[in-house]
Amino acid sequence: MSELTDLTVAEIRDGFRAGDFSAREVAEAFNKNVAAAKALNAFIVETPEKALEAAGAADRAKAAGEALKPLSGVPIGMKDLFCTEGVQTTAASHMLEGFTPTYESTVSGKLWAAGAGMLGKLNLDQFAMGSSNETSYFGNVISPWRRARKDGGGGDNAALAPGGSSGGSSSAIAARLCPAATGTDTGGSIRQPAAFTGISGIKPTYGRCSRWGIVAFASSLDQAGPMARTVRDNAILLETMAGFDPKDSTSLDLAVPQWEAHLSSDLKGKKVGIPREYRPDGLNAEIAALWDRGIEWLKDAGAEVVDVSLPHTKYALPTYYIIAPAEASSNLARYDGVRYGQRNLPDGAGLQDMYAATRALGFGPEVKRRIMIGTYVLSAGFYDAYYTQAQKVRALIARDFEQAFEKCDLLLTPTAPSASFALGEKQADPLAMYLNDVFTVPASLAGLPAMAVPGGLDAQGLPLGLQIIGKALDEQTVLNAGLAIEERAGFTARPDKWW
Amino acid sequence: MSIDLQTVKKIASLSRISVTDAEAEAMVPELNNILGWVEQLGEVDVTGVEPMTAVIPNKLRLRDDVVTDGDVRDKVLANAPQAEHGFFAVPKVIE
């Protein structure tokens, strides 16, 4: 039998039920991999005892012949943006270092109630702001992948970015430290790291997953979603994570579909739109070639391919970099050194000085930058020129998608404009870093479900991903197209263990 | 429009983030770069377009006007940097 840590969520669930192995054996195997992978810095807090506790409950239930839960026996990683009762939750910031929630986020609570066990809290970009996991107060996450040429020469050992903001999640899954993990996606934070590390991840329709108990970044964009190695595993996790929650006013009061049971890679009758604006001059040739292969794969699965236009695509990123910082500046106003988190009280300081000193100490440079941009675009005299204009352009971007979906059922695009890059390579220029999200941000602005699936390796031996964007609430078609690509891409590459 | 050192300091003050002169100076080109880039939105014709308020049509729900939580003072205060006598404590505000 292959190693337990090579199994998918579905294989662990089914193998545990069939009695091939105990839940404890699975939890111990993953705990061991987690403990041995400090070099990746994927976890901020490790919770092997939580994984064993859930495994023990699963083993006891099975021995007693009780009904098993959907995720009984499955250990997972939890992005450290989800509040977990009694376990430090930091959003990878100094501000929240030591913060121990007295409550559980809705999404993490649903996963535990479904029998999953927690391996630990996963590192991320600070307050989920970043595309390379270089803004964490707790240090960079390192991708398990390294550049190596297929002919055996020309590689290097440079530390590569696992993507961001869910970089701990992507790194840990690719390195087999956990079979699956939660992510959150505001402008691409599930999809881009998934693409960088050769795994899959789905951001569902805005409102599918409750935001309650997730440290807020940009509330009109933030969505939780799963990350895992297979499309099926994503379907399994999303079924547990999604669902109406009265504690989130933007939660959708809709039944959760049975995505796993309805998985089908037969795309007959489906029309796939190829948005021409996603092929700008200078698009990386290997990514363009992979995209072409993806189109052939979907045709092979029975889909018809049509050309579509999303004319406002080029305005999506600047729109995002007004709206997301604006919402962040408002959301992060809560960190005042009074109710939770750090406090910095210089000698003789009054309340206002304490606020300013606390926030200077607790926030990293990228977080400060975004708060200040947000404060500026919302300030008197500039609000209409920046924020209102951005919300109008956002409406046009959403309308582009509506019009495209009159001609097709889903869209296929690349996930990111490049493969993973070396840590430090894009640090100096915030704008260059922002451009990483050029293909993922439009679907976020429109609230649409979107998924990244691995398509192949580039000449450096690094994974490249394809993105599927669906109509609102049509996660099923997104997952089905993802499955069709997964079956045809035959992506089995994994990083060589060096850590 | 470009922002100068005074404006950066004003934004920092509105954001309640203390910055040194050197930090503020470093932020001037950084913020100008980003703001200069987002200003391309000005060229989009938005005549007759309503600003978006919700990506997925959804109605704000009303719930019964009853107390649904409370009695958790110690939990609320559990993470406070300074809590005294069942309250959050802050530096003296009124002399």
What is the tens place of the pLDDT at every residue in A368-423?
A: 999 999 999 999 899 999 999 999 999 999 999 999 999 999 999 999 999 999 99
Q: According to the model, what pLDDT value does residue A106 have?
A: 98
Cβ <8 Å between A252 and B58: yes
A392 CB neighbours in chain B (<8 A) are 44, 46, 49-52
What is the tens place of the pLDDT at every residue in A144-166?
A: 999 986 555 567 889 999 999 99
Q: How many domains does chain A have?
A: 1
Q: Is B33 on the interface with A (CB under 8 A)?
A: yes
Q: Domain B5-42, what architecture?
A: Orthogonal Bundle (1.10)
- Average pLDDT for chain A: 96
- Which residue in A91, A363, A349 sits closest to B15, CA to CA? A363
The residue range of the domain holding A108 is 4-268+450-489
Rama region for A132: left / alpha / beta (φ>0; ψ in -120 to 50; rest)? alpha
In A198-262, DSSP assigns E strands to 200-203, 223-228
Q: Which residue of A has its CA nearest to B59?
A: A250
Start-to-end CA span in chain B (Å):
42
Distance CA A18, CA A423 (A): 43
Quick check: is A131 in a domain? yes
Higher pLDDT, A281 or B18: B18
Q: Which residue of B has its CA nearest to A354?
A: B91
- Is 0.90 surpassed by the pTM of this model? yes
- The strand pairing partners of A308, in sequence order, are A275
Please report, for the domain that includes residue A195, its CATH number: 3.90.1300.10
Cβ <8 Å between A393 and B31: no
Indicate if the pLDDT at residue B95 is higher than 80. Answer: no
Q: According to the model, what pLDDT value does residue A153 have?
A: 59
Confidence of residue B21 (pLDDT cuts 50, 70, 90): very high
Which of A189-198, A335-344, A423-432 has the lowest average pLDDT? A423-432
Buried-state track B8-33, b at ≥16 Cβ within 10 A, e below 16: bbbbbebbbbbbeeebbeebbebbbe
Report, as residue numbers or ranges, the catalytic residues of A: 79, 165, 189
Quick check: is A411 in a domain? no
CB B36 within 8 A of CB A430: no
> What average pLDDT does range A449-463 have in this prediction?
97
Quick check: is A261 in a domain? yes
Cβ <8 Å between A395 and B33: no
What is the tens place of the pLDDT at every residue in A103-140?
A: 999 999 999 999 999 999 999 999 999 999 999 999 99
Helix axis angle for A231-241 and A9-18, nearest 10°, is 80
Give the nearest partner residue to A322 out of B18, B38, B92, using CB atoms.
Answer: B38
Backbone angles phi, psi at A182, to 5 degrees: -90, 155
**CB half-sphere exposure, A95, CA atoms < 13 A:** 29
B30 CB neighbours in chain A (<8 A) are 369, 430
- Average pLDDT for chain B: 93
Higher pLDDT, A354 or B92: A354
- The strand pairing partners of A305, in sequence order, are A272
What is the tens place of the pLDDT at every residue in B59-69?
A: 888 989 999 88
Quick check: is A184 in a domain? yes
Q: According to the model, what pLDDT value does residue A429 have?
A: 84
Q: According to the model, what pLDDT value does residue B69 have?
A: 86
Cβ <8 Å between B15 and A371: yes
Question: What Rg do the C-alpha atoms of chain B give, in angstroms?
Answer: 23
Q: According to the model, what pLDDT value does residue B59 have?
A: 84
Q: According to the model, what pLDDT value does residue A281 have?
A: 85
Indicate if the pLDDT at residue B1 is higher than 90. Answer: no
Cβ <8 Å between A353 and B82: no
DSSP-derived letter for residue A123 is P
Higher pLDDT, A428 or B23: B23
Q: Which residue of A has its CA nearest to B30?
A: A430
Task: Specify the residue for token string 């000085």.
Answer: A353
Q: Is B27 on the interface with A (CB under 8 A)?
A: yes
- Which residue in B11, B32, B56, B54 sits closest to A391, CA to CA? B54
DSSP-derived letter for residue B53 is -
What is the tens place of the pLDDT at every residue in A310-343?
A: 999 999 999 999 999 999 999 999 999 999 999 9
- Which residue in A101, A79, A100 sits closest to A91, CA to CA? A79
**Count of C-beta atoms within a 10 Å radius of residue A11:** 18
Helix (H, G, I), strand (E, B) or coil at A199: coil
Domain ranges of chain B: 5-42
Q: According to the model, what pLDDT value does residue A417 have?
A: 94
Q: According to the model, what pLDDT value does residue A50 have?
A: 98
Indicate if the pLDDT at residue A433 is higher than 90. Answer: no
What is the tens place of the pLDDT at every residue in A475-494?
A: 999 999 999 999 999 999 99
